[in-house]
Each structure stands twice: as C-alpha cells, then as structure tokens.
Amino acid sequence: MGRCRSLRARRVRRAGAPAAVALLMAALCAGTGPDASASVRTDFDPATVQKLDAAITKIMKQTGMPGLDIGMWVPGRGVYEKSFGVADKQTGTPMKSDLYSRIGSVTKTFTVTGVLQLVDQGKVGLDDPISRYVSGVPGGDGITLRQLAEMRSGLFDYTVDEKWMAGVRADPHRAYTPRQLVDVAFRHPPNFKPGARWEYCNTNTILLGMLVEKVSGQNLDVYLRDHVFAPLKLNATSLPGNGAMPDPHAHGYTDFTPKGTVADATHWNPSWAWAAGAMISALDDLHTWAPALADGRLLTKKTQAERLRTLPIGVIPGASYGLGILDFNGWLGHNGELPGYETIAAQLPAEKATLVVLVNSDIDYQGKNLSGLIGNAVTSIVTPDHLWPAPVGAAKK
C-alpha cells in the first residue's frame, strides 16, 4: 500500500539501520535475539529446520530486523512455526505467535472478497462501471469493477501524491475518510486508458471498499466482520477505524518520517490506507485465511475462477495478478506493508503449502523489503520449484 507498496520499487530510506543493529545486538546479549524463539513448533526434518533457522537468523542480523513471526505448513512434510527477536525494542519483550500485527495490503484480499460475494449475490457485476455505485470518478463510466480489482483502471494512485504523503508523514495520527483519499487521486489525470496495462494502485481498492458500503448498507469493517471474518472464525482480524491496537501486539518500527528517523508506528492511524491496507491480524488467522483465499470457500466456483484468472504484471518475472490476488510462481495470496509492519500470506496449491510472514519493521535493507527477503529464503529451502520472488533493491534518490 503506498507505504504498503507491495510491488512497486521502493526508495532506500536514509536512517534507522545502525540503531536497529545496535538494539538487535543488545537483544542477543539478553537472550531475546533472532536465535531465541519465544514460540516454536517444528516437525520438518532436522536438516530443513537447521537450514531455515540459519537463513532467517542471517537475514535478521544483516538487516537489523527487530522481530518476526514465521509459519510454513506443508501437509505430509512438516510445520515450521517460530517467533524470532523482539516485539518491543524498549522492553526487550520477545515476539510471540499470538501477537496482533498490521497487515498492510493483505487487506486488499479481504476487500475484494467482499466485492466478489456481492457478485455471487447478484447485487453487482464485475463488468459494471464503478460510476454506477460511486460518484465523481473521472472516466468512471468506462472503468469496471473488474479493472479496479485487477489493478488495470488507469487511475492515479493517491499514495504517489508526494505533497499529500508528506502530510501523512508529518501527522501520522490524522484520520481520513475514504472520500478524502479518492479526491486526492482525482486531482490528477488518469495514467492510462482502462485495461491498457497493469499498475498497482491503492485508489482502486478504496473505491471497491466504498462500493461494498454502498451496496451492502454496512460499514466495511462491519461487513467484513459478518461475512468474511466470522464464517472462518478469524477472531484476531479486524479493520480498525483509528490507531488503537488490541493487546497483545507487536510494536512496529518505521523510518517513514519527515527526516527519515526511526519511530514507533504502532498506534499511528491507518485510516489513510483503509480498504487497501489498514487491517490487523495475527499468525493463526492468516494461516486460516491464505488457503481459504486460494480455494475460494467463501465464493461460488464460478466467481473464484474469475478471481484466479491472473494476467502477467510485467514487473516481476513469474508474477501475475487476478482480482485482488497475486500469483507468485504458483503462490496465491498477497504481501503487504504499512509503517512499522510487513506481511506475506500465501498458499501454494501445488503442494497445499501455506506461508505466513509477519515482520514488525518496514525499514528496507539496501532497498529491499524485509518480508520479501524472508519469503524468498524460506521458499528457496522448502519449495525451491516455487520461489517467493526476491525483492529488488531500489535506487537511491
């Protein structure tokens, strides 16, 4: 998302790594560093566990990553479920698998599921124009719900408006309405004609969230609670309306600040991300959600087939995008980023494997996002024929 830039090349940020490394070394001395898992469940063969431990520990030491929850579940082969590092750098409280975390653009998978449920109910059609449901969209008569969900609308992404994003940095506790978000986008001309190409755009998912509210008559958080979270018993998952974090939670660390200094973003207001990136969840819930997303158990087979009809994105080899879902070399799901947090939640149908990564920092390492480094390392060991793509370093500006 904007700062949840799940796919867009990202700038190397200016500060944070030295202090994080120092704190990490202090945690190691205190026995709560990357090798000291607060919660552990493994039944892969010992050699695989050893490789995974070594790879993750190496990345954490290199990057200064404060903490991490990781889950890899492969039926018939094993489980690797561990917590590394600290949830709070001030107190040294260790990470645990039951901690709440912000999940960034993984939110999109839930919002689009809500839209697809309305399709199944006959209340909307994927090829309906968004102007039928949301007013004021430039060229909205020619932009379909399908194009919004598959990131091919051509609309400007409000999180690319640098002046507006500077305001978010300066006052991260400010609340925004969905209309305020899309109005930022609508001040800019479209980037291309609808359907012409793929471009990651948070404006698309905000509009889809507005559609869910208009058609269902419920606030988006209530609709998702009743129709998505509850049927799957996702009791740790929510779409907050303010900066509150339920307890127990991991603190999130970011350098998304006016001067690039490191800050604790735990209680920043995520309303600027809303339907595109503001949700909260935890390891167990995402372990349930990833396979449910991939197999479409909340949808009809026909609508699920529409969701999984992916098209190449033209940015990352082996990557394609469907309706609010990524296909990374056979992994179906999404990654996400919000100040202080990074997430991966994905399912590999070929092996019925599930991968969940939760990191309590979004401070890039040499221009590479932390969750992507972990995802690539873990899949290189467990599913080498189906790699989660390695993040690409961004050029300094």
37 or 137: which leads in pLDDT: 137
Over residues 136-151, the pLDDT tens digits come to: 999 999 999 999 999 9
Lowest mean pLDDT among 19-28, 151-160, 183-192, 359-368: 19-28
pLDDT(4) > 70: no
pLDDT(38) > 60: no
Give mean pLDDT, residues 41-49: 91
My answer on whether omega of the bond before 270 falls inside 30° of 0, hence cis, is no
Give mean pLDDT, residues 269-283: 98
pLDDT(159) > 60: yes
Q: In the structure, what pLDDT confidence band is assigned to residue 23 with cuts at 50, 70 and 90?
A: very low
3-state secondary structure of 108: helix
Q: In the structure, what pLDDT confidence band is assigned to residue 317 with cuts at 50, 70 and 90?
A: confident
Angle between helices 107-120 and 283-295 (to 10 degrees): 40
- What is the predicted pLDDT for the residue at 1? 60
Q: Cα–Cα distance between 355 and 126 in angstroms, integer?
A: 29
- What percentage of residues in the chain have a pLDDT greater than 90? 86
Q: Cα–Cα distance between 85 and 41 in angstroms, integer?
A: 16
- What is the predicted pLDDT for the residue at 165? 98
Torsion on CA atoms 365, 369, 372, 377, rounded to nearest 10:
0
- What is the predicted pLDDT for the residue at 39? 61
Over residues 114-140, the pLDDT tens digits come to: 999 999 999 999 999 999 999 999 999
Over residues 287-297, the pLDDT tens digits come to: 999 999 999 99
